[in-house]
Structures are given as C-alpha cells and as structure tokens.
C-alpha cells in the first residue's frame, strides 16, 4: 500500500460505502472501517514506516488528506440522514389543521331533572321558595306531625323502609312541610322536590321515585286559592287546554282533601291507553292543611290557614317525553336517554 492509486481506490470505496449507509448506526460502522484504529486509512498510515524515506512525507500527507475528506463525507451524510429522519417523523405525524373536527358527544339533563327544574322555576315565578329535606327522616317529620296515627295503613311495613334508631326513608316529600313550618311565622310559601321511598316494586312502581310538594300558609287562604295555583301549574306544564278535576278523598294531613287529575293530553279527554279510557290522568293529592298539623308546627290555626299539594314527578316526565315504561327513567340506558 503505497501508490496514490491505492489511495484513490480507498477513497472511492469510502465514498460509495458512505452513500450506501442508510442509518446513523450503519454510517458509524462505515466510518470505523476506514478511520477507526483498525480501519483502512490507519493501516495505510501505519505502513508509512516501511516506505523509502523520500516517499514518506508525500504518502503521509495524502493519507491525512484522505482522512479529512472521509470525515467530511461522513459529516455530510450524517446531517442528511438526520434531516430525512426528521422529515419522515413529520410526515408520519402529519396534522392537517384544516380538517373538520370530530367533536365529542354532548350530554344532556335527565328527563326527571329537566321536568323538576321546570316545575321549580314555575313556582319560583309565583313567589314560592325552594326548601329541602333529608331522605332519612324522623318518624315525627314523616308521620306523626303530619297527623298520621301509628295505625295508619301507610305506616305498614309493606310501604315504609324502617331504619335503625326509629328513622325511616321518607315516604313522601310532605316531611318538608313540617321542617319548613316549624319555627316560622306565616305568611310563607314553599316548594320542595326530591326522592321518596316505598316498599313497592312492579312494572308500574319503583321503590324510589320523585315527588314535588308545595304549601302556602297565610290569613284567609281558601280552597279556591289552591285550585287557582294548581290550574296555572297544569296549564304551564300541559298547555292551556288542560282541565283539572278534584275528587274528594282523605289524607290525614289535609282537611278537606282531594285527589287531583288532569285531562288526558294525548286523547284530549276522548279516552286512550294512557288514561285507561277515562279521559283523566291521576296526578297527585291536595287539600287545606289540617289544623292539627299547623298546631304541631306551633302555628296558630285559628288565625292562619294553608293549602298543600303533592304529586309524582316521574309520571309527569313520562307524559312530557312520551316515555312508555317507568324503567326507562331509572335504568340509565344512554341509548334511551340520548333520544330524549
């Protein structure tokens, strides 16, 4: 190894190998095979000692020149490889900001929540305040103070979930009447909504359902006031053509008491499946607050009177959204809820 043609051949081989290297690792290996301690150029430099003295300088210079040339090519190739790796990465993760977005599906309020809020906002517009009561309630607030004697059928274990310590799961929202009236001086008007519980499970009944309760106490309150408020409420929910029907009934906490129906909105009173061909749909109960209830809340029943009413929210929501089965309200099936 001495002639310049050997060096030319070596340079040519290096140029080709460097051009062929298609990754940084392969390039480093090519570099080592020419410039490394055991590489071809190093070998050539090591052979210089055996050359005649007058050739050593020229060959040494040429070899060093070749070394620099090869380093230059390696550096160039390395940069090119790195640049194309970056280009590849950019191409692979191409982001077209002009494409339309896919968006995420939006949720919506549960039908019971929608109807509850609509009811509350109606009564708020009539000056009623929202009052809350707990679902775990004392016997006094749920029964005793509402004039429900211990032997009343609604206390039957079939209906009431009894808890330890004499508490019950409230069977109606009427417990809020006692909580709101005790310690307050009339006039006042309140609305309350929430879950109530009864020992009842069938296709038409759920052990947990929702009620709305309203009550107003003042001087000179009459049953006519109650009818006026409920008619405005019915028209707000079901439209101006709706009629209400009051049927004499008995509740321990009202006197007189009435069962409340509204004219079937589906068949306009002609008779259909929803109203069982009667033209009327049961809605709730109402009446004038029993003087004994007022007295148990320390309100002077000689001076003050009040009316109260309570109805189920679930059935109202079913009518409103045309939901055929009660279970659709409680199963939480998004395929059903998504359509409402």
Sole binder of ligand DAH in the list 286, 293, 297, 337 (CB under 6 A): 286
Q: How far apart are CA 246 and CA 329, in angstroms?
A: 28
Binding to ligand DAH, residues 189-228 (CB under 6 A): 213
133 is a site residue for ligand DAH (CB under 6 A): no
Nearer to ligand DAH, 39 or 214 (CB): 214
From 51-59, 66-74, 308-316, 325-333, give the range in contact with ligand DAH by CB under 6 A: 308-316
Measuring CA to CA, how many Å separate 77 from each of 13, 41, 307? 15, 19, 92
Sole binder of ligand DAH in the list 190, 197, 233, 251 (CB under 6 A): 251
From 26-34, 48-56, 81-89, 278-286, give the range in contact with ligand DAH by CB under 6 A: 278-286
Nearer to ligand DAH, 281 or 308 (CB): 308
39 is a site residue for ligand DAH (CB under 6 A): no
CB of 177 to ligand DAH, least distance (A): 7
CB 44 within 8 A of CB 63: yes
CB of 254 to ligand DAH, least distance (A): 4
Measuring CA to CA, how many Å separate 25 from each of 74, 78, 159, 254, 329? 12, 10, 80, 91, 64
From 10-18, 22-30, 267-275, 304-312, give the range in contact with ligand DAH by CB under 6 A: 304-312
Nearer to ligand DAH, 192 or 318 (CB): 192
CB of 339 to ligand DAH, least distance (A): 30
CB of 286 to ligand DAH, least distance (A): 5
From 36-44, 67-75, 135-143, 307-315, give the range in contact with ligand DAH by CB under 6 A: 307-315
310 is a site residue for ligand DAH (CB under 6 A): yes
Q: How far apart are CA 65 and CA 68, in angstroms?
A: 5
Kindly give, in sequence order, each residue whose CB lies less than 8 Å from that of residue 230, ignoring residues fewer than 6 positions away: 244, 260, 286, 309
Sole binder of ligand DAH in the list 39, 133, 234, 285 (CB under 6 A): 285
Q: How far apart are CA 179 and CA 142, in angstroms?
A: 10
Here's the x/- map for ligand DAH, 67-106, by CB under 6 A: it reads as ----------------------------------------
Identify the CA nearest to 137 among candidates 97, 196, 90. 196
Q: How far apart are CA 277 and CA 270, in angstroms?
A: 7
172 is a site residue for ligand DAH (CB under 6 A): yes
Measuring CA to CA, how many Å separate 50 from each of 4, 53, 180, 186? 16, 9, 113, 122
Structure-token pair, residue 69 = 């040339």
Where do we find the tokens 């759920």? 206
CB of 246 to ligand DAH, least distance (A): 12
Binding to ligand DAH, residues 253-272 (CB under 6 A): 254
Strands 208-218 and 244-251: unpaired
Nearer to ligand DAH, 40 or 211 (CB): 211
Where do we find the tokens 């929608």? 114
CB of 197 to ligand DAH, least distance (A): 11
Sole binder of ligand DAH in the list 39, 186, 234, 287 (CB under 6 A): 287
CB of 151 to ligand DAH, least distance (A): 18
Residues that bind ligand DAH (CB under 6 A): 172, 174, 213, 251, 254, 284-287, 308-310
């Amino acid at each position: 190894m001495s002639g310049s043609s050997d060096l030319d051949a070596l340079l040519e081989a290096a140029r080709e190998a460097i051009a062929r290297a298609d990754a940084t690792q392969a390039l480093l290996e090519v570099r080592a095979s020419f410039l490394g301690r055991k590489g071809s150029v190093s070998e050539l430099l090591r052979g210089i000692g055996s050359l005649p003295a007058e050739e050593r300088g020229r060959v040494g210079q040429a070899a060093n020149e070749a070394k620099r040339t090869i380093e230059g090519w390696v550096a160039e190739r390395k940069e090119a490889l790195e640049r194309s790796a970056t280009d590849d990465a950019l191409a692979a993760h191409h982001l077209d900001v002009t494409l339309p977005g896919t968006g995420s599906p939006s949720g919506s309020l549960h039908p019971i929540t929608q109807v509850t809020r609509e009811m509350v906002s109606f009564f708020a517009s009539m000056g009623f305040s929202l009052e809350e009561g707990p679902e775990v309630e004392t016997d006094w607030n749920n029964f005793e103070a509402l004039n429900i004697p211990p032997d009343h059928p609604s206390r039957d274990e079939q209906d009431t979930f009894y808890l330890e310590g004499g508490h019950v799961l409230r069977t109606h929202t009427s417990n809020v009447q006692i909580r709101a009236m005790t310690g307050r001086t009339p006039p006042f008007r309140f609305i309350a909504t929430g879950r109530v519980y009864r020992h009842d499970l069938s296709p038409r009944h759920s052990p947990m359902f929702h009620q709305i309760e309203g009550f107003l106490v003042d001087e000179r309150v009459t049953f006519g006031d109650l009818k006026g408020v409920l008619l405005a409420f019915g028209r707000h929910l079901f439209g101006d053509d709706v009629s209400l029907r009051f049927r004499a009934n008995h509740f321990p906490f009202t006197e007189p008491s009435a069962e409340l129906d509204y004219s079937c909105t589906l068949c306009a009173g002609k008779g259909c499946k929803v109203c069982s061909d009667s033209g009327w749909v049961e809605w709730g109960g109402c009446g004038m607050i029993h003087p004994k209830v007022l007295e148990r809340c320390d309100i002077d029943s000689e001076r003050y009177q009040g009316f109260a009413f309570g109805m189920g929210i679930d059935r109202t929501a079913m009518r409103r959204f045309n939901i055929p089965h009660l279970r659709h309200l409680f199963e939480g099936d998004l395929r059903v809820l998504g359509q409402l």
